[in-house]
Amino acid sequence: MIDAITSDRAPHFVLLRYIPEHWRVLDVFLIPCFAIPKSAIQKRNPLSANAERAGWVGCNIVLTNIPDVARLPIMLNGVPERPSDVRRQFQRIRPLAELGVEERGWTLDVLTAVRSLGKREFAAKDMNAKIKDLSRLHPNNHHVREKIRQQLQVLRDKGFVEFLERGNYRLREFFLQY
């Protein structure tokens, strides 16, 4: 899966939550291929030596490492979303597809961190609380504070946040619905 993300060949994912006893679908979400950062992939242990595919290594997808704005609802609580709303939400996050794979990973991780602040307006200094988390996701980067600042500019350029004044930002209103 990491190879697929790195080479920009990751698939779109459709996630389904259902009640098996009643064969009832509750929720359906689309996660576009360009919205899956490498940080969302968790390596599993290889299959045992006596397994049919011995040595094969799978992965888990850590949904909390995928920005919530990139988990597009198609159905919620058994009620389908309007197709026009799903398309509109897709178009809002589509600018992420224009980024290179490596930059996209950082941008997605910083967007997740911004959303976890839980407020519309925030300062670059608010992101200092997220340095430890982002350092854990990107252990080879020793300039995380600078990278966050750079990615806030990317998010601004792609229309996810607005620059208010030096070091102060506002999350665009249509990303508050999630």
CA distance readout (Å), 27 to 15, 17, 146: 8, 5, 38
Task: Tell me which of 61 and 173 has the higher pLDDT.
Answer: 61
Q: Rounded to an integer, what distance in angstroms lies between the CA atom of residue 107 and that of residue 148?
A: 9
pLDDT digits (tens, 9 = 90+) for 21-48: 999 999 999 999 999 999 999 999 988 8
3-state secondary structure of 31: strand
Average model confidence (pLDDT) across the chain: 92
pLDDT confidence band for 151 (50 / 70 / 90): very high
Q: Assign domain 2-175 one CATH number from 1.10.150.530, 3.30.2130.10, 3.30.160.20, 1.10.10.10.
A: 1.10.10.10
Which pTM does this prediction carry?
A: 0.85
| Nearest by Cα to 152 from 116, 106, 87 | 106
Q: Are 6 and 105 in contact (CB under 8 A)?
A: no
Per-residue burial over 46-73, b = 16 or more CB atoms within 10 Å of its CB, e = otherwise? eeeeeeeeeeeeeeeeeeebbbebbbbb
